[in-house]
Amino acid sequence: MTETAESVSFDVPSYMRELGRCARQASRLVGRAESGDKNAALYAIADAIVADRVQLAAENRKDLQAGKQRGLDAALLDRLELTDARIDAMAEGLRQIAALDDPVGAISDLNYRPSGIQVGRMRVPLGVIGIIYESRPNVTADAAGLCLKSGNACILRGGSEALHSNQALAGCIKKGLQQAGLPATAVQVVATTDRAAVGELLKLEEFVDVIVPRGGKGLIERISRESRIPVIKHLHGVCHTYIDDQADIDKAVKVAFNAKTQRYGTCNTMETLLVAEGIAERVLPLLGRMYRDAGVELRGCERSRQILNDINAAQDSDWNEEYLAPILSVRVVADLDAAIDHIEKFGSRHTDVIVSENITRARRFLREVDSSSVMVNASSRFADGFEYGLGAEIGISTDKLHARGPVGLEGLTTLKFIVFGDGHIRV
Amino acid sequence: MTETAESVSFDVPSYMRELGRCARQASRLVGRAESGDKNAALYAIADAIVADRVQLAAENRKDLQAGKQRGLDAALLDRLELTDARIDAMAEGLRQIAALDDPVGAISDLNYRPSGIQVGRMRVPLGVIGIIYESRPNVTADAAGLCLKSGNACILRGGSEALHSNQALAGCIKKGLQQAGLPATAVQVVATTDRAAVGELLKLEEFVDVIVPRGGKGLIERISRESRIPVIKHLHGVCHTYIDDQADIDKAVKVAFNAKTQRYGTCNTMETLLVAEGIAERVLPLLGRMYRDAGVELRGCERSRQILNDINAAQDSDWNEEYLAPILSVRVVADLDAAIDHIEKFGSRHTDVIVSENITRARRFLREVDSSSVMVNASSRFADGFEYGLGAEIGISTDKLHARGPVGLEGLTTLKFIVFGDGHIRV
């Protein structure tokens, strides 16, 4: 199905190439723009979103109606809806991004070398960022704001079900950019739902520096496989909490309960609870009751089923599972080494937690568990750009290169070397 | 042609998978090894290389003889040869790596957040690094040393023409690792010249975290295209020096002469000289004479040929050319903007230099030229890990993500988030 905002079909490869060319051009201007101008644009976009709320809601209704006709489920329709509160939240998010420090141009580590030259590093934008995402239209404002503040141009490709909402937002963004004297093409929202557009975007290595996919695992795997451009991605989160036998029972119960139940559908929610044999009989009955009262289904190893005798048996596949639901797998392990082995074997290198009062074990866990976030005595739900003080996040990377963990403005920039001399030559 | 060190052919995919599996296992041990143990291994490898110099030379002679029979040219044979001085230099290089600070485990930016948790970042190894390189056997010792010091396991795949030399070095490395109590599989040197080994290595995404190719542009392009694993690469260096009309003539002449002639075959050698119209008639005749005396062929634009009337005309293709030879393209440009445009259009984003006394222009050049190194009044030949104080380098990256410019120990590591709480939960 090919549908553009104006329902005109066109040549997708040429269209995408032209977006790429314009983005590259705009990136040079936005990359050197002053902080004040970028902030002015962010405020102007926020104002335009608030001012245009009636029109935004009308366009959003078109998407909602089409979605209902296509039989989208209630959860998807809910995510798609731009309520008054969500429109205000988008504008507020942009103002918050404006208030963050500008990372671009910051110079660090400027030192003289024995040769007499002075060498340092300057933080600079990546250039052009392609973002591919699913139904929620607020991502459009959010991603545009983060890319703009970090001096990057971007090409945004939202879900087809949000086409009208996203195009209406694109109009507000364009107005804001122009008002601040920045190029309108610094943020371009793909105006076709033709699926070929994604494939074409992934081929624009000449114009696009990095791709950030946001959505389900299937989408992200396909994009990683197809893309000729580097991808910053978040595959999945199989997060563990390990309760050590030297844990404080109260803290263990609080942390493990919160990590599972504070929200079920997020990537930093705990999916597997590991409990040291030496503390299992004291801590599991307490937690078991709390999970049961909260409606969490437990799937346990043999030993944990001896202690909590009314729970289901975990299958091998449970240890790899990202439930995103009120389900938790539970395993009793011998000790810290067994816990680290389990996480190494089954984890997704996202966020893993130890609860222990023993500093030596905490230090080993921090050093040896190879995940983007490792925590001591805190809920995995804290793995989040806002909670970490990044101000905002474009996503959480489970890759190792470049950005690892929550990706904020800094993750959308890179460092180049700068050198000062006074006619210095190499001998 | 399939040839192993023992001239036995075998199942390459299984062999490479087994190397991968062992490397992943070793990476956990070497990743948590203490600095002292890693340094002890580096010294022990250095000692083994010096102690085994007779055997190393004998194995190297096998490669040299085979190379002569296969008709390798003199330059390649020279690069292949392990002279006494080169053997000493390899050992000395390893001792220098031992003397560098250990980047692994360093904690930075540890701050309390409003929620009460304390968030910081820890520098950690990437894991397993695959390095694919060409004839020079000293890369084997060098790469092994850098990977080991940065806590990574590595799989090294040298050129087939250096097979015997590389296997002899692998023996020394193994001895050193074992002597220090580290796993011998922390450094594995592929023992087959079967070209399928490279393709198999690029598929080991389960076991290998990053690929570093070192060699000609063809090799690197092929590896980037084929690899399912992220690649840190250096494509080519078309480096520019721009002499501004507010340049100091003496500094301009010194820097531009050095950037071209100090060494011809390196990636940070200047390939194109840009001269502002306002200073061209004063600076080009001086430089023209010096280049002529040094045997450098100049290929100029129309305007530069009016000033230097005995030089060849540059073709369009010259502006993209990495000569790696005593050839230089010369272009007179109107001003700074034209110079930046030229570099944007034809450069390779490696290293670019402005010579100017004007601070505003210098600042603009630093900010706006999107290259891994940008310099003011210094020779592009300084773009080098040693000159920058990185202590060593595994290569120079022209990518933007992760490592940009010279890649030292830090480029072989990444940052993870660490979080401390005291039973903190998200509300």
In tens, the pLDDT along A275-302 reads 999 999 999 999 999 999 999 999 999 9
Question: What count of other Cβ atoms lies within 10 Å of the Cβ of residue B217?
Answer: 11
Q: Which amino acid is at A246?
A: Q
Please report the pLDDT score of residue A9 as a whole number: 60
**Residue B338 class from Cβ within 10 Å (0-12 exposed, 13-18 middle, 19+ buried)?**
middle
- Find the closest chain A residue to B30 by CA distance: A368
Instruction: Average the pLDDT over B224-250 and give the result.
Output: 92
Please report the pLDDT score of residue B393 as a whole number: 86
Angle at the Cα of A213 from the Cα atoms of A342 and A41, rounded to 5 degrees: 130
Interface of A with B in 283-322 (CB under 8 A): none
What single DSSP character describes residue A4?
Answer: B
CB contact under 8 A, B426 and A387: yes
CA distance A70 to chain B (A): 37
Q: What is the overall mean pLDDT for chain A?
A: 94
Interface check for A387 against chain B (CB to CB < 8 A): the answer is: yes
CA distance A414 to chain B (A): 7
Check pLDDT > 90 for residue B331.
Answer: yes
Check pLDDT > 70 for residue A7.
Answer: no
By the 8 A CB rule, do A120 and A110 touch?
yes
Of A333, A343, A380, A348, residue with least CA distance to A364: A343
Check pLDDT > 50 for residue B390.
Answer: yes
- Find the closest chain A residue to B122 by CA distance: A367
Instruction: Average the pLDDT over B170-184 and give the result.
Output: 97
Check pLDDT > 70 for residue B8.
Answer: no
Interface check for A254 against chain B (CB to CB < 8 A): the answer is: yes
CA distance A101 to chain B (A): 16
Q: What is the overall mean pLDDT for chain B?
A: 94
By the 8 A CB rule, do A418 and A107 touch?
yes
Q: Provide, as residue numbers in chain B, all residues whose Cβ is less than 8 Å from the Cβ of A400.
A: 126-127, 209-210, 414
Q: Give alpha helix (H) positions in B245-371.
A: 249-261, 277-294, 302-307, 336-346, 359-368
Residue of A31, A383, A419 lying closest to B382 (CB–CB)? A419
d(CA B312, CA B295): 14
For A300, residues 6+ apart whose C-beta sits below 8 A from its C-beta are A308, A311, A312, A313, A314, A329, A330, A331
Please report the pLDDT score of residue A50 as a whole number: 97
> What is the pLDDT confidence band of residue B10, given thresholds at 50, 70 and 90?
confident
By the 8 A CB rule, do B143 and B394 touch?
yes
d(CA A307, CA A311): 10
By the 8 A CB rule, do A163 and A5 touch?
yes
Of A219, A212, A203, residue with least CA distance to A160: A219
CB contact under 8 A, B126 and A400: yes
Please report the pLDDT score of residue A97 as a whole number: 95
By the 8 A CB rule, do A174 and A184 touch?
yes
Residue of A230, A250, A418 lying closest to B401 (CB–CB)? A230
By the 8 A CB rule, do A242 and A355 touch?
yes
> What is the pLDDT confidence band of residue B99, given thresholds at 50, 70 and 90?
very high
Q: Which helix (H) or strand (E) holds A56?
A: helix A53-69
> What is the pLDDT confidence band of residue B46, given thresholds at 50, 70 and 90?
very high
By the 8 A CB rule, do B400 and A125 touch?
no
d(CA B354, CA B376): 5
pLDDT in tens, A193-219: 898 999 999 999 999 999 999 888 888
Check pLDDT > 60 for residue A6.
Answer: no
pLDDT in tens, B62-94: 999 999 999 999 988 998 999 999 999 999 999
Q: Give alpha helix (H) positions in B295-409.
A: 302-307, 336-346, 359-368
> What is the pLDDT confidence band of residue B307, given thresholds at 50, 70 and 90?
very high
Instruction: Average the pLDDT over A182-202 and give the result.
Output: 95
Q: Provide, as residue numbers in chain B, all residues whose Cβ is less than 8 Å from the Cβ of A414.
A: 400-401, 404
Residue of A367, A368, A377 lying closest to B422 (CB–CB)? A377
- Phi then psi for residue A263, to 5 deg, are -155, 140
Instruction: Average the pLDDT over A412-418 and give the result.
Output: 96
Identify the residue among A119, A255, A369 best suited for mutation to test binding to B, counting B beta carbons within 10 A and taking the highest.
A119
Chain A, chain B: beta-carbon pairs less than 8 Å apart: 219
Instruction: Average the pLDDT over B217-244 and give the result.
Output: 89
Which is more confidently placed, A125 or A234? A125
Instruction: Average the pLDDT over A239-245 and give the result.
Output: 98
By the 8 A CB rule, do B319 and B348 touch?
no
Interface check for B230 against chain A (CB to CB < 8 A): the answer is: yes
pLDDT in tens, B349-389: 999 999 999 999 999 999 999 999 999 999 999 999 999 99
Of B137, B182, B129, residue with least CA distance to B159: B137
By the 8 A CB rule, do B15 and B192 touch?
yes
CA distance B156 to chain A (A): 20
> What is the pLDDT confidence band of residue A4, given thresholds at 50, 70 and 90?
very low
Check pLDDT > 50 for residue B313.
Answer: yes
Sign of CA dihedral A296, A297, A302, A307: positive
Q: Provide, as residue numbers in chain B, all residues whose Cβ is less than 8 Å from the Cβ of A32.
A: 367-368
Interface check for B261 against chain A (CB to CB < 8 A): the answer is: no
By the 8 A CB rule, do B382 and B363 touch?
no
By the 8 A CB rule, do A277 and A245 touch?
yes
What single DSSP character describes residue B113?
Answer: -
Please report the pLDDT score of residue B217 as a whole number: 81
Interface of B with A in 97-126 (CB under 8 A): 105, 111, 113, 115, 117, 119, 122, 124, 126
CB contact under 8 A, A262 and B425: yes
- Phi then psi for residue B148, to 5 deg, are -60, -50
